[in-house]
Amino acid sequence: MSEIPVMMTIAGSDCSAGAGLQADLKAAHAMGAFALTAVTCIVSEVPGLVRGIQEVEPELVADQVRINLEHFPVAAVKAGMLYSPSIVRAVHGVLKDADIPLVVDPVMIATAGDRLMREEAVAVYEELLLPRAALLTPNLDEAAVLLRSSSNPERDESPEAAARLALRYGCPVLLKGGHLAGDCRDVLAGPDGRSLGEWTRPRVRDVSTHGTGCSLSAAIAARLAAGDGLVTAVERGLEFIAAAIRCKKAGYDGVDHTTATGTFVHKGVAAVDKRVFPLGSDLYVMAKGMEYGLTKAEDTGMKGQKIDLYLESYQQCIQFGRRSATVYLLENS
């Protein structure tokens, strides 16, 4: 069996458990990684309301990051809420010599409008942290702040805005389109500003999306820790978030609908007979007339040589149906 990849999240604590460290832990686990934490702030909040922020002493923030790096094989880091200039400097001081991919979620403004990063911290953040990022994941509000714009990028401006940010900071940028009217449009630009991918999904209405940005960046970091390339990690992270939102809309609570291994159901998960395919095994599925590709044995409920694959929609399930398949058990499992 392959070892579980390890990532670290450096972020604030959300007492409602919908965002921040708490969301990161759940997302990392769902994506097959073990997540370490470094707490930067204690936030008294619920969706739509931030009532208090208490930052942790920068020296203690730095030591949390340092001790994790000293004692665990950290393969990726996600940085979320870094409230003050001193916290940004403390985190940078420890990470500057670490050859580990860093996913930066620029947590600046809460949905309710409260600032989650002091204004004087932005320049320090841009100077020290963003140039070493493996990925920057702003939403439209955060993109406007970083672009010094008085208005958010519109749908047709998203690719250009992502490219401008990538060129400004010299790092890949995933510009999230969850705040757009209508369908969601997410665009990924490389450090040279060229497009690396674009994803459009129908909006799921009348469901809280509190913490989805935190969860997405943590999911991407988890997949980078597992060895995925950037585009694959982004794509899997987006698929995970989309599935989570759909499940929430359908009334699932994310607890009773996790797999036998405790991960959240998403694309790339297979239910198996663990006597045939050990849980945690990496599989490659080639079905007659359709190639499903890589999947992981994370759930049970099947008997013998039958497997059950996750598909994203009812229409895909009907199209795929029941069919014979060749399943390869990959050697590194």
Residues taking part in catalysis: 176, 209, 211-214
Q: Name the 3-class secondary structure at 113.
A: coil
In sign, the C-alpha dihedral spanning 10, 16, 19, 22 is positive
Spatial CB neighbours of 253, under 8 Å, sequence gap ≥ 6:
none
**Both tokens of residue 167?**
């060129």
Q: Within a 10 A sphere around the Cβ of 21, how many other Cβ atoms?
A: 26
Spatial CB neighbours of 64, under 8 Å, sequence gap ≥ 6:
10, 37, 38, 39
Distance between CA atoms of residues 67 and 54, nearest Å: 22
**Both tokens of residue 319?**
């199209």
Distance between CA atoms of residues 121 and 190, nearest Å: 25
Distance of CA 124 to the CA centre of its chain: 24
Distance between CA atoms of residues 120 and 78, nearest Å: 22
In sign, the C-alpha dihedral spanning 65, 68, 70, 72 is negative
260 and 298 Cβ atoms separated by less than 8 Å: yes
Q: Name the 3-class secondary structure at 37.
A: strand
Q: Which of 144, 198, 196, 155 is nearest to 172 (CA)?
A: 196
